[in-house]
Structure 1
Amino acid sequence: MLYEDLKEFEFLLPEERIARYPAIHRDESKLMILDANTGKIWNEPSFKNLVSYLKEGDVLIANHTKVSKRRVYLKTLARIHEVMFLEEKELLWRCKIRNSRKLKVGETLSDKKTQTISFTVEKKEGEFVFLKPEHTLQEKDFQQIGEIPIPPYLKREADLQDEIRYQTLFAKTPGSVAAPTAGLHFSESIFETLKEKKIQLCTLELKVGYGTFQPLTRENFQNQKLHREEFFLEESSAEILNLAKQEGRRIFSIGTTTLRALESAYDFATDSFRSGPGATELFIQPEDRLKSCEGLITNFHLPGSSLLLLVSAFAGKESILNAYQKAIAEDFRFYSYGDAMLILGRKE
């Protein structure tokens, strides 16, 4: 696929189709079903109905990463800056800062909320600014000085509701700057039903980076790479997945971040998954053939995004674009807090 082909994945999305806030209850979003083998599309009124498409022996795998409060407002004597703390390396934090042109190397900033932690601008490289905090930052520091970094397309400030609803119920390991949003639909009630039907749920961890919000560039297509994200597949999860593969049982990925990690941990030669740590720059495109799982639970993604290309690889370009037009016509809600899609089977 070429960069010029990306225009085929653009579509007009009315502003009112963007879900600015979550549904009242996690599991009451609408659910669209897409059969990847036939292209047939139909709707379910509630995400709760997902379990009727699952059977004993199926395996669901989710990303158990937790969103950290990495959006921090820092101030100098002259102005306030919105800062996204991305990653730490050798006591320096790589950050995205609005209006960073006005910051100078050596300048000092302090957090706006508590005014207890100061930072020094150590260097600037391209779009990134590297800050050195006065002491090593712990998760508890971000809890005190930061805010939940809800996606920019919500066009609002985060509130108390987001601290609960922009986390999945299986979130446990902090470090992401965005939620694995397909998992937001799962409720305790659904967990109980899965257990009753003897459907296994296992997890992996992929730290979702800010790159998930970045538009695709010509460079992505030239290098055939996306932003780098670290993941970890527990040995217990790999054992569950590998046994399912051996026995011909279905594996369903909860979300695109999970699928990206699964495809990176999957060994095509042995038809099995490797446990342990890894990192992925995988750029999945419509012509790719995915082999790690047999079903995908996902949200409705941005036009022309890497995630739209990924789901097109899973179900086929024509089927996905047809489903999206149907979703727009039938008042489905899009993006992080929007409705869900279940893709059954995968394009061969």
Structure 2
Amino acid sequence: MEFQDLSDFDFELPEDQIAKFPAAKRDKSRLLVLGRTQDFLQEETEFSRILDYLREGDVLVANATRVSKRRVFLVTKTGRKHEAMFLSETEPGVWKTLTRNSKKLKLGDIVSDEVSGKFLFSVIKREEEFTILRSETELDENSFELIGRTPIPPYFKRESTSEDDVRYQTVYSKNLGSVAAPTAGLHFTQEILVELKNRNIEFLKLDLKVGYGTFQSLNEDHFANKKLHEEEFDLPLETAELLNLAKKNDRRIISVGTTTLRALESAYDTNTKTFKPGEGKTRLFLQPEDSILSCEGLITNFHLPQSSLLLLVSAFSEKEKILKAYKYAIEQNFRFFSYGDSMLILDPEKK
């Protein structure tokens, strides 16, 4: 696919269809059900009815990562504030950040967190748009829970609230480390998880630490190198073994979200038709015409125009079908993006 084709994935979305707040209940969002190819069913329902489209023996796989409160306000000695997103710890005590008004910070400057004033950071380097900080105080995920805020997406155009602390996490989230939620999973409730178990539908978990790159625009380098931002994932041995058993028995594997799909596809060996367990890193950039063989179904939200996630969904299904579904969703006033409505895409040959 050539870079100029990215314009095919552009669309105009009315501002009021950007879901800036969560639905009243997680499972009351709308659900558009599609076949993976053109000749398969399209239906509209609500997410609470998703089990109508699943069957005994299906295997759902979800990203159990938990969103860290990595959005921290830092204060200089003169009282000037800088908002910083702590992206990753590149080496012990050294953090890559996106810091607003970073040009006003000089190398060697010391800043502290706004909440407690006890966590100190020194500016040690600049790399492209990133500011590299060294933590002068021991800093871990529990520290962010004390001094940080939930890093809701920038297109919400508002401050995070205590409601976001709950609703911008999945009900099954466990391990901190992401700067964005695996949003397809936000629709699940504990009641749905119990009903899945009652119907002998497996619900498995892996971890992929969602990075800020999920919000970044695509450019020519991404297409030239066929690689995206790097993200770490971990496919537990037990999950891999159960997935391999499902493949062997020709049962449907359904990915809950694009982050899960990116990890599954990276861990799947097409030669042996098995999943390799363990930790890994992925820069996978899936586009239309790519083959996705790790799973037969996908649960996903409606994504940003011209985004890598929209291209990934088009790779899983068909470009024309997905663009048609997005056109329908806009016309029918579906809610878009992180707190928006969802799609279930299933392989008709496996129905």
Q: How does 1:314-333 map to 2 (within 5 A)?
A: 314-333=316-335
Q: Counterpart amino acid of 1:292?
A: S
SS at match of 1:167: coil
In the alignment, is residue 151 of structure 1 matched against residue 153 of structure 2? yes
Q: CA deviation at 1:279?
A: 0.5
Between stretches 131-140 and 241-250, larger displacement belongs to 131-140
CA shift digits 1:138-175 (9 cap, x unpaired): 22211111000000011110000000000001110000
Residue 36 of structure 1: how far off its partner (Å): 1.4
The counterpart of 1:307, out of the listed 297, 306, 309, is 309
Query: Which has the larger displacement, 132-141 or 225-234?
Result: 132-141
Q: CA deviation at 1:44?
A: 3.2
How do 1:1-348 and structure 2 match up within 5 A?
A: 1-40=1-40, 42-76=42-76, 77-88=78-89, 89-345=91-347
1:346 Cα offset (Å):
7.6
Task: Single out whichever of 84-93 and 242-251 deviates more from structure 2.
Answer: 84-93
Tell me the distance in 2 between the aligned counterparts of 1:201 and 1:40. 25
Question: In structure 1, the residue corresponding to 2:239 is in which secondary structure?
Answer: helix
- Asked if the contact 1:74–1:82 (Cα under 8 Å) also holds between the matched residues in 2, the reply is yes
Number of equivalenced pairs: 348
State the Cα deviation string for residues 87-119 of structure 1 (Å, max 9, x = none): 112321110011111111001111111212111
- The one-character-per-residue Cα deviations of 1:197-228 (angstroms, maximum 9, x if unpaired) are 10001110000000000000111011110000
In 1, are the aligned partners of 2:40 and 2:348 still within 8 Å (CA)? no
Q: Partners of 1:45 and 1:82 in 2: how far apart? A: 40
Larger deviation, residues 323-332 vs 106-115: 106-115
Q: Tell me the CA shift for residue 78 of structure 1.
A: 4.9
Extract unaligned runs of 5+ from structure 1: none
Identical pairs, percent:
56
Q: Which moved more, 1:73-82 or 1:329-338?
A: 73-82
Counterpart Cα distance in 1 of 2:303 and 2:59 = 24
Bigger mean CA offset, 139-148 vs 300-309: 139-148
Classify the secondary structure of the residue corresponding to 1:122.
strand
Question: Structure 1 CA distance, aligned partners of 2:92 and 2:3?
Answer: 35
Equivalent position amino acid for 2:122 in 1: T
d(CA) in 2 for partners of 1:346, 1:172 = 33
- How far is the alpha carbon of 1:134 from its aligned partner? 1.6
Q: CA–CA distance in 1 between the matches of 2:99 and 2:131?
A: 7
Amino acid at match of 2:271: A
Q: Aligned letter for 1:32?
A: L
Alpha-carbon spacing, 1:81–1:104, altered in 2? closer, same or farther (3 Å) = same
Q: How far apart are 1:39 and its partner, in Å?
A: 4.7
TM-score, scaled relative to structure 1: 0.98
Residue 170 of structure 1: SS of its match in structure 2?
coil
Runs of 4+ in 1 over 2 A off after TM superposition: 37-45
Residue type at the aligned position of 2:66: K
Instruction: Report the 3-state secondary structure (helix = DSSP H, G, I; strand = E; otherwise coil) of the residue aligned with 1:279.
Output: strand
The DSSP-based 3-state class of the residue aligned with 1:93 is strand
Kept after mapping to 2: 8 A contact 1:41/1:323: no
Distance 2:206 2:117 in 1: 36
Name the CA distance, whole Å, in 1 between partners of 2:74 and 2:43.
Answer: 45
